[in-house]
Every structure is written in structure tokens, then in C-alpha cells.
Structure 1
Amino acid sequence: MPNVPWPNNAKVAVNLTFDFDAETLWLSRDPANIDRPGTLSQGTYGAKVGVPKILELLSSEGLPATFFVPGWVVDNRTHVVEKIIKAGHEIAHHGYLHKAVDPKDPELELEELETGIEAIKRVVGIAPVGYRAPSGETSPNLVRLLSERGFLYDSSMTDDVEPYCHFLQDGSPSLVELPWHWSLDDAQYLLSNAKTHRPIQTNEHILSIWKAEFHEAYLSGGYFNLLMHPQVTGRPSRVRMLSDFIAYVRKHDNVWFAQSQDVANAWLQIGPKQSAEPMISPFLKVGQDGTISQC
């Protein structure tokens, strides 16, 4: 893979992203959880303790981040979202009630998208430019819907390690995709509850994976997208783990820590030059509206 010409001759772009789901993570999985305060309290921790601890770390390190926030959280944890904004971090779209998109229910997909946008506009004062699908579930309508509403980027796909451009039916470039992966999602190692008995991994194990993934991104001169949840990484020892990871990254020269919107804007200046025509993967369906993606 060729080295990406990032701004200021940076060798790698590091994107610290947080899915601030709060209670919606549990409400969307099972509406009956509304009557289970013990279960919901994991999400409450993210708002009450996790976000403040993470903001403190980011402030001490002088680092920017992007928080993907469901509209329900914006409406019900407004004071926490306002702290994120005051600290200068980006607020991006993450659905309204963190409901996974069902391609067979386009009306619900549209409702989740539009109510989430309106919630962010009310609190932040501007419309979000970035989107991440709850649980990574999307539909063939996604690129068209986001493009029509003026979004700059999406971060829902796992089909690459570098950013790329989506293309519309007429061949014009659309959204920038900022891909992620489950191996860089803290919830896969640390999120557990009474119904989901997922073994909790040691911080050392997780840190070793993050370091190995970053090392390869640095060698290729590419992109590193770390996905965290305040109710998970916001635990005291895991904030320390994130601090240790940041220290490891900073041992490398020419690292660019950037918000998602800045990575997407930078890619718009370089991505289309590297790929003049979109390609269609034989493993992907083309949406009924003709929307396709480079792969």
C-alpha cells in the first residue's frame, strides 16, 4: 500500500473515536431494560464517570477526538454533550436510539437518521457531518441518505484499512468512508452483562492488539481508527490503558492525531487522485438507487 500524503508530511493519521451510547446501548437491545436499572447503570456510568475521565485525559494530552452520539443521549444527557463540545471535540451522528438498521424497514431508518440530526442541531447548533451506524448495521440506502443531507463522511464499514470514497450512480464521488474494525473496538473485549457472558480480557491483551495494529498502520503510512465506549474505556484502569497507548504512539515520529472530519477533509484532497473510477466488488450488491462503493 502506498504511503498516504497526510497534512504536514505526517506518516499516519490517528483517529480517537468514542461511541457515547449511554443507556441507549441497552435500551436498543431490549426495550424491557427500561425497568432494569442495574443493566441501564452500565450506560449511566459512561455519562456520569466515563466521559469526564476521558475528557480529562484528552485535555491533559492536548488531543482531539470525535464522539459519535445517539440523539437520545443528546436529548437526555445534554449537559455531558455540552462538556464534550466545550472541550472542542467533534460530535457526530450515531442514530437516535442506537437502533440497528433493518433494510426491510426504510421508514425507521429514515426516522432514526432525521431525529438524530435534529437533536444534534438543537444542542450543537450545526448539523453533524459524520455518521457511524449503530452496531455497524447499514442498508443499501445509507450513502444516498447521508449524501442528500450533506454529510461529509461515514464510519460504518469494515472493508478496508484506509479511507476511500463512495460513488453515486452518475460516477461522482460522494462520502468519504473512514473504516473501522472489531479488533479495534473496546466493547469486544470488555463489555459484558448478565445475559451476554463475554469473557473480559486483560488490559495487557487489549493493549498488545492496539499496538500491533498501530504498528502496521504506521509502517504503511496509513490510517488508524480506534473505537471506544465511555462506559467501557471510561473505567479507571482502562483510561490508564488508553493513556499508555497514547504514550506508545507518541514514541513514533510524524503522527497526526485528528478528528474524523479533519481526516475526511484531508482525504478529499488526495483520495480522488488515487482512484479515478469506482470499482464494484462482486461480493457487494448495488442498491436499487444505483449507489455503489469503491472497494
Structure 2
Amino acid sequence: MSYDLSPRPLNPAPKAPPMIWPNGARSALFIGFDVDAETAWIGNNPSNVDRMVTTSHGGYDARVGIAKILQLMDELSLKATFFTPGWTALAHQAACEDILKGGHEIGHHGYLHKMPDRERLDETFEEIDRGFDALKTALGVRPVGYRAPSGENFPELLAYLAKSGVRYSSSFRDDILPYRHAGQGDQEGLVEIPVNFAFDDWNFGMSSRTSPRPIFGRDAVLSLWIDEFEATHAWGGVTTMVLHPQVSGRPMRWHLLRDFLLHARQKSDVWIATGREIADHFETLEERHRRSTMATVGRTAGPE
């Protein structure tokens, strides 16, 4: 396969439009969880399925992590989006049903958490279809939001997601405001709610015997999150979190997350919303701008 390496913006999406957040808020906070469970360990490395200690990292989700995260969300009266692989929903149906019972949004996160591959489009699209089918079977839902497993995407996948009824993505890392992806043909692109990589708890709280790396303590992570949140708030952006119950559902990290959310919640001018709510708001502003532009053009044109 040849690659086009000509100099150009590799994301052709137009620049993010100015954002007016609801109720006079200065910024938004999007609390997103990736409920990977064991798929984090077997999706891209299927041989791990027979390594029970390795996969037990992911098994923590259903045994402890999901329930503790839901307890925290209930304690703080917050709603979140839980991006859930189809395999997870089928393997741990009761735990995932509790997410819905808590009033939270379910997002699409593939079927087996396989990284999307542009050179294997059939396999990539099958992951999307199987994910939809599994979430419908296990939970009776068809998500409108998508977060790419292992955080990868490409134009054909964006187009397939839009064709499948997905309205927003939360995977890209190239802005602090929501924007609209470039569409293909007559098809409108997805709304993107970009991620801040500093808020991916996996970077600080997960290691394993097969890929050891340092684990960071409370003070280092909490100060980073607060500083990044405060700066994003000052710039009027959206702070998008990529959290995992098998990380932030661990005892110390549960308290770390709680302390951060308490800090964010104490501000009166932060809108804490689900991905669907942010996408709805973006589309409302888009439509308002479209109507305003049409009215201005009509007044300028005048009668014939």
C-alpha cells in the first residue's frame, strides 16, 4: 500500500466554530469512561485469552470497578458516558445494565476493542456492526456516540459510522472545542468532542508484567488534572476525560477522581454533560447559525 505523504492538514475538518456553552457556562466537562473489561487485554492480543492473571486486570471492571464508579457518580449527582465494547456488554450484562439504571449514556466502543485498521476495512466495519448488535441484544440500546478502540480512526471509518447513525465521535486530540468532521459526498460528518490526552487515566495508573511502566501517585495526577482543567476552563474549551473502571475504580484512584470532580463541580460556570448532550448543543448552535445566515442572505438579496 502506498501512502500520500504530501504536505497538507491530515484532518480536513474545518476549524472549530466559536462555542457558547449553556446557561452562561464558560467551559464544559465531559466525563467519559471506557468500559473495556477484558477486551483491553484480548482485543489486539487474542493469545492473552488463556492468561488469566493478565486478563484479570480487565475482570476488575465487572467485579468491582463499574459499581464503584456508579456509586461515585450517584454520590456527586453526575451523569457520564460509558463507551462499552459489545463483548463487554455480553460478558458482563448485569454490570452494564446498572450503567443504564443509573441514567448514564452508553457509547459505542467497538466489539472486541480491536484497533481500527484502514488496510482491513471489512474487519473494521464488522467490529462496528457486531458492536451495535451486541449492545442491542444485551442492553436494548443503539448508541449515537463512538470512541475508537485504541484511539484510532480514518476517513472511511468516519463515513461508515455516520452512515450507521452515529452522530458524534470522541477520539481526536486536535482541538479544545467540538467541531464537525468533513463529510463525504452528501453525507454530513460527525461532531467531534476532542479528547485531552492528559485526562487518560491509563497513562498514569495502569501497568502490567508484559509492558511494565511507572505508576503515578495521587499528587502528581491530581495537580496535573486540576491545572489542565483550569487552563481549559479559562480558554472556554471542553475538558474530555478518558477514564477506565479498571483504573479509576481502584481504591486510591477512586478517591483521586472524586477529588478532581469535586474541584470541577464547585465552579458555577462549568457545564458537566454527557457526550450526547454536548453533541445536541453543538447541533443546536449549528442550526441557529445556519438560519441566521440564511436570513441575512435573504435580507441582503431583497425582492427581485
Is the TM-score greater than 0.5? yes
How many correspondences in the alignment? 276
The reply to whether residue 21 of structure 1 matches residue 36 of structure 2 is: yes
- Given residue 123 of structure 2, which amino acid in structure 1 is its aligned partner? L
Q: What is the one-letter code of the residue matched to 2:96? A: V
Gaps in structure 1 of 5+ consecutive residues: 277-295
1:10 matched to 2:25? The reply is yes
Question: What are structure 2's unaligned runs of at least 5 residues?
Answer: 1-15, 292-304
TM-score for the superposition, normalised by structure 2: 0.86
* Distance in structure 2 (CA, Å) of the matches to 1:113 and 1:3: 32
The equivalent of 1:72 in structure 2 is 87
- Distance across 2 between alignment mates of 1:106 and 1:170: 19
Q: How does 1:52-67 map to 2 (within 5 A)?
A: 52-67=67-82
Using the alignment, how far apart are the partners of 1:53 and 1:36 within structure 2?
26
TM-score with structure 1 setting the length = 0.89
Letter aligned with residue 140 of structure 2: G
Match of 1:267 among 267, 282, 288: 282
- Which of 178, 181, 184 pairs up with 2:199? 184
**Structure-1 residue corresponding to 2:51:** 36
Tell me which amino acid in the other structure corresponds to 1:132. R
Distance 1:184 1:275 in 2: 33
Question: Which residue number in structure 1 is paired with residue 64 of structure 2?
Answer: 49
Matched, 1:95 2:110: yes
Equivalent residues of 2:159, 2:184 under 8 A apart:
no
Match of 1:136 in 2: 151
Q: Deviations over 1:113-148 (max 9, x none)?
A: 000011111233231101011011122212210111
1:255 maps onto 2:270 in alignment: yes
Shift of residue 198 of structure 1?
Answer: 1.1
Question: Which amino acid in structure 2 is aligned with residue 102 of structure 1?
Answer: D
Asked if the contact 1:17–1:225 (Cα under 8 Å) also holds between the matched residues in 2, the reply is yes
- 1:272-287 aligned at under 5 Å gives the runs none
- In 2, Cα distance between equivalents of 1:40 and 1:82: 22
Cα deviation per residue 1:135-189 (whole Å; 9 max; x = unaligned)? 1112221221011111110111111111101121347642100110321100011
Contact residue 3 and residue 220 of structure 1 kept, 8 A:
no
Rounded to whole Å, the distance in 2 between the matches of 1:160 and 1:106 is 27
The separation in 1 between residues aligned to 2:184 and 2:61, in whole angstroms, is 41
Partners in 1 of 2:251 and 2:30 — Cα distance?
A: 22
Secondary structure at the aligned position of 1:98 is classed as coil
